[in-house]
Structure 1
Amino acid sequence: MPTPEDSSTLYGELLESARRLSFDLRDTESGVELDCHGMTPEWSPLYGTPTWTRMTESEQMRLTRREVSHFLGVAIWLEVALQIVLLRRNHSADPTRADVKFLFNECADENLHSLMFVGAIEQLGERHSPLDRLLVFIGWLFRTFAWDEVAYGIVLAGEEIFDVMQRDWSIDDRVAIAVRRSSQVHVVEESRHMTFARQKMRDRLRNVSRVRRHVSAVLIAVGAHVIAKGLINKGIYRDLGIDWRSAKYEIDRNEHHRMMFRRATAPLVEFLDREGLLNPVARTVYRKSNLL
């Protein structure tokens, strides 16, 4: 088991990595991109369904641009929530501690990521899709009440999902340049953030009671469920003239969609299992979310 000294060394190494390998794409904007997909089409929840098959290629492109704009909006929502939780919990901490210094750097990264994602949405010629009220309410609960390993675990769930998706988007020539570029940056910089989150979770879970570990495991699973379901926004499909009831029916039964999301969460599930955060109740929630 890593010692506190080992953790401090790791946080210092992450901060040094941030000094050497950080990016800022705010000033590399190009024109609006319309003749392209917003993301790798295989990541569309409707991919392979009868509704998808009936669409023209142009309509499929428009759909993926709307979907990825919402996905990026959820990523911004998640990153802002993370900052609120962690800054609140570290407001009076020693600012010279290695983990706190890296936290400041992470928050700087997250703000630049949010601006970068806003720029990508605008370059796709799209707009922000309002989040579901339930997602907004769950976000408030998360920001207000989540304790350390729960906060890091839920955010890690979102980061892992986006990491796998964006690795595909970043190398797909069918995808808009703005999304490819922002995905490349996000994959590189979020790898540090995910390493940081995993280590903070290990630190917080050291010597905790079985009850707390059990409750934390379930809450992390619920948070991952909310994020996964929040990526599906009925407003997107209605705006494009797609019948929501039919779309929801097809998405819920789309085995390809389930397979892609299970692939996206495989690294997360492996980590949680290793850290004792994958109890039977949590496993049930992940299965309900098509994440396991």
Structure 2
Amino acid sequence: MTMPDHSAPFFDALLTSAQRLSFDLREIGAADDALEGCSYGMTPEWSPLFETSIWADLSEQDRQELTKREVAHFLGVAIWLEVALQIVLLRRNHSADPTRSEVKFLFNECADENLHSLMFAQAIEQLGQRHCRLDRSMKAAGWLFRTFAWGEVAYAIVLAGEEIFDVMQRDWAADERVALAVRRSSYVHVVEESRHMSFARQKIRDHLAAVSRVRRYISAIAIAIGAHIIAKGLINQRVYEGAGMPWQAAKHAIDHNEHHRMMFRRAAEPFTEFLAGEQLLNTPARAIYRMSNLL
């Protein structure tokens, strides 16, 4: 017997929105290379080193180059997260009824995510940067996520990344100091990810509807660990060594940078507010978010 699809109208509305408001990569175009050399890679206030003594000692050109290295890595982490999301979603829906509204939107979301990954890869190249190899811990975490994440945990960890990038990219898209390749890709991502975040929130609520208090408690901690890995993964030793900085000095400056902590808390605020509303912000989870500078 087929279970009724109570959320069908919601997912139908998301699919209609996707059909009405989506972008073709051909519309984005190639960034003006003449602008890239005298622009920041991202809004400089989002650099983890902003307002540190290291930042103060850098020339304007070095600051621009540093933010290009940093944003190239940030976009690489976004690609890593989007690929992991697709693996999880497609694996768990391989035999699902393809006519269900939520499955049809899932197909559309995976199509969007593939194009976003391609768009980010192109932006990295337009900035004159290369992909920064992820730490082994990130690769191991990705395997654990793809293999073992369940229901609300899978969707919430992905939502964590989407929410954090959404706040960052709203700034990047509106900042004329930022390279055109990043501004354009950020604008497209913000518009299209709004649907994906709505989808993830609804799926989390659906999964939580009938879970026990014990499972909700465990899921809250698992989600916090996933968000912690994403946040810490944005700081990569190779980025700063590639910019000619001693890693220990850069790490110390970042770890003690109150501005960086404030910006990360701002980025995570919509996500943590959602978790609190769904009773997914228990005491151990809060402690983990504080270690991640997300709370």
Task: Give the TM-score category using the shorter length.
Answer: over 0.9
The alpha carbon displacement at 1:30 in A equals 3.3
> Which residue number in structure 2 is paired with residue 39 of structure 1?
42
> Which residue number in structure 1 is paired with residue 23 of structure 2?
23
Distance across 1 between alignment mates of 2:31 and 2:216? 48
> Which residue number in structure 2 is paired with residue 246 of structure 1?
249
Matched to 1:106, the amino acid is E
8 Å contact kept, 1:93–1:100: yes
Deviant stretches of 4+, over 6 Å: none
36-45 or 21-30: which moved more?
Answer: 21-30
Alignment map for 1:272-287 (pairs within 5 Å): 272-287=275-290
> Which residue number in structure 1 is paired with residue 107 of structure 2?
104
8 Å contact kept, 1:8–1:98: yes
Distance across 2 between alignment mates of 1:24 and 1:240? 34
What do you get for the CA RMSD once the two structures are aligned? 1.0
> Which residue number in structure 1 is paired with residue 139 of structure 2?
136
Which residue, out of 64, 85, 88, partners 2:67?
Answer: 64
What's the CA shift string for 1:89-112, capped at 9, x where partnerless?
000000000000000000000000
> Which residue number in structure 1 is paired with residue 214 of structure 2?
211
8 Å contact kept, 2:132–2:238: yes
Match of 1:47, SS state, is: coil
What's the CA shift string for 1:43-75, capped at 9, x where partnerless?
000001000000000000000000000000000
Matched to 2:22, the amino acid is S
Identity %: 69
Which residue, out of 177, 184, 195, partners 1:174?
Answer: 177
8 Å contact kept, 1:149–1:201: yes
> Which residue number in structure 1 is paired with residue 226 of structure 2?
223
The alpha carbon displacement at 1:25 in A equals 2.6
Which residue, out of 264, 271, 281, partners 2:267?
Answer: 264
Which residue, out of 37, 43, 52, partners 2:55?
Answer: 52
Distance across 2 between alignment mates of 1:239 and 1:187? 29
What's the CA shift string for 1:250-274, capped at 9, x where partnerless?
1001000000000001000110000
> Which residue number in structure 1 is paired with residue 12 of structure 2?
12
> Which residue number in structure 2 is paired with residue 116 of structure 1?
119
> Which residue number in structure 1 is paired with residue 152 of structure 2?
149
Distance across 2 between alignment mates of 1:206 and 1:14? 21
Distance across 1 between alignment mates of 2:32 and 2:287? 45
Distance across 2 between alignment mates of 1:141 and 1:254? 31
The alpha carbon displacement at 1:132 in A equals 0.5
8 Å contact kept, 1:34–1:125: no
TM-score when scaled to structure 1?
Answer: 0.97
Distance across 2 between alignment mates of 1:205 and 1:152? 11
Distance across 2 between alignment mates of 1:267 and 1:243? 34
Distance across 1 between alignment mates of 2:278 and 2:252? 36
What's the CA shift string for 1:90-141, capped at 9, x where partnerless?
0000000000000000000000000000110011000100000100000000
Q: Does residue 125 of the first structure (1) align with residue 128 of the second (2)? A: yes
8 Å contact kept, 2:163–2:271: yes
Distance across 2 between alignment mates of 1:94 and 1:168? 39
Distance across 2 between alignment mates of 1:59 and 1:52? 9
Match of 2:210, SS state, is: coil
Matched to 1:285, the amino acid is I
8 Å contact kept, 1:25–1:182: no
The alpha carbon displacement at 1:240 in A equals 1.1
What's the CA shift string for 1:195-244, capped at 9, x where partnerless?
00000000001110111111110010000000000000010110111011
Q: How many residues align?
A: 289
Match of 1:170, SS state, is: helix
